[in-house]
Amino acid sequence: MKFSPAFTALIVALVLSVRPAMAQEGEWTYQRCYEYALSHNLTLQQSVLNKRLAELTLKVDRMSMLPTLLGNGSAGYIFGRSINITTNQFDNKATFNASLGLSAGADLFGWFQKRNTVASSKYEVYAQNYLLEKARNDMGVNVANAFLQILLAGEQVKISRAQVDLSKAQLENTKKLVLAGSVPESNQADLEAQLARDSSTLVTAENAVILRTLQMKALLNLGFEVPFDTKIPDNIAAVPVINLTETSPEMVFSSALSIQPQYRSDEMRVKSADKTLSAAKGAMYPRLRANAGADTRLAGGIRYEQYGPDNFVTYVSSIGFPKSNPLDTVFTYDKFNNRATRKYTVGRQLSDNFGQNIGITLSFPIFNGWQLRGQVERAKIDLENRKLTQDINRLQLRQDVYTAHADAVGAYQKYLASITTERASQKAFDFATKRFEVGLMNTVEYVTTQTNLFKAQIERVSALYDYIFKVKLLEFYRDQKITL
């Protein structure tokens, strides 16, 4: 089968466009991790549900201020002697009864109880919005920490692999010297042991990368089978950070206090509790309500009499015998209406029994088992508790900021010291290598110098990532954002 040149060019273009995308599929930057976590993390989804629940509560409270309209209906059979609901007469037979009604009501005055409840719910919605923002910010910190841990583990793998390569090269060179008789065979055994230790360290470092990656995937709610390769910044040591000498912890605290979602949420929850207390107090006072309603009813098997015009029947009846002539009978003649009966229709019953009502109800609590008073006292305690929570979180925020500043300064000093240590260890190792190659240093001393350099390199990398994270944490308190 032959394809046209245009079709062939289209296929080639599609392949070339898909291959870079496939190559980038498993590459994750910090920003991509953070954005993915915002939409997939389970804890954040719970925060979103809490916000929706608060919004639903506010909607319900607002709708409760509208007038109410209720419909009711009932139907059933009554057996035995009972009063018919339409004729109000006693019946002694099975009768079908039914009733329909509508009732409406509206609060005229209730000491602003519902209005305060709505205000309380509104502040609770504001609080949940701030808590959701806090959860997102905390997720940024957690993702940044996990991301840097993966990068750190990757750097440790590189250092460990370089150490293994170096030990292999030294071992191969020593084997040649042993064969030539230049060095004793014990040197080869010492280097073989060192290579085994370095290989074990490399396996541990590689396993650490796997574990850190699994932790990140769990944080992102990402399938464990999905490829995940972190993209290291071009120069992680050159990531822009704040100047610690020009940043005081009190300045960071003042900035954090004005923008921290946790503290703003505490403010809203205190206001919510205050409005809840006002609503609880309002429930203890009289309540005025307007009511209106309409209802009708019907019963089955009822017949009613209907009188026709000028339609009479003469009834003759005997009323007794006269004393003068007991053999004669006295008769009387009466006229009665010719009464016809027919079934009482449903429509006629509903129309005849239709009634309406309107009124005003004034209700006030006298004694209800101290329930309302208990609600007021409970609202007072809740208000005081939320105020204490606000003060506790404020104090904790100050402590966290000062601790973060001290940690950042300490991490920076440790990083500078690790750089000096690594340089000195590298210089010592270079001299040791030259002495070892000419036979002026034994294998044990040389391996010790090499191990010291390896430890210094690991400590320098660890100190670098620890410093970056702690400075970024301090920036987070100041700006509520993290950039890598």
Query: Position of tokens 């503290």?
Result: 263
Give one DSSP letter per residue of 416-443, joined into a string: HHHHHHHHHHHHHHHHHHHHHHTTSS-H
- The pLDDT of residue 258: 85
Predicted TM-score (pTM) of the model is 0.75
Domains of the chain: 25-67+112-159+200-283+372-479 (1.20.1600.10)
Give the mean model confidence (pLDDT) for residues 116-142.
Answer: 93
pLDDT over 50 at 10, yes or no: no
- The pLDDT of residue 25: 58
Do residues 209 and 150 make contact, with C-beta atoms less than 8 angstroms apart? yes
Do residues 424 and 479 make contact, with C-beta atoms less than 8 angstroms apart? no
Band of pLDDT at residue 407, cut at 50, 70 and 90: very high
Using CB atoms within 10 A of its CB, is residue 258 exposed (0-12), middle (13-18) or buried (19+)?
exposed
Do residues 460 and 237 make contact, with C-beta atoms less than 8 angstroms apart? no
- The pLDDT of residue 54: 95
Quick: pLDDT tens for 353-394: 888 999 999 988 888 778 888 999 999 999 999 999 999 999
Give one DSSP letter per residue of 27-61, joined into a string: EE-HHHHHHHHHHH-HHHHHHHHHHHHHHHHHHHH
Quick: pLDDT tens for 456-473: 999 999 999 899 889 988
More confident residue, 303 or 344: 344
Q: How far apart are CA 168 and CA 223, in angstroms?
A: 38
Q: How far apart are CA 292 and CA 281, in angstroms?
A: 28
The DSSP symbol for 328 reads S
Q: How far apart are CA 188 and CA 171, in angstroms?
A: 6
Query: Position of tokens 């062939």?
Result: 8
Burial track 313-339 (b if 16+ CB lie within 10 A, e otherwise): eeeeeeeeeeeeeeeeeeeeeeeeeee
SS3 state at 228: coil
Q: How far apart are CA 120 and CA 116, in angstroms?
A: 6
Strands (E) located in 365-424: none
Q: Report residue 12 as tokens.
A: 């080639």
In this structure, the chain runs to a length of: 484
pLDDT over 70 at 255, yes or no: yes
Quick: pLDDT tens for 474-484: 888 888 777 77
- The pLDDT of residue 243: 79
- The pLDDT of residue 182: 75
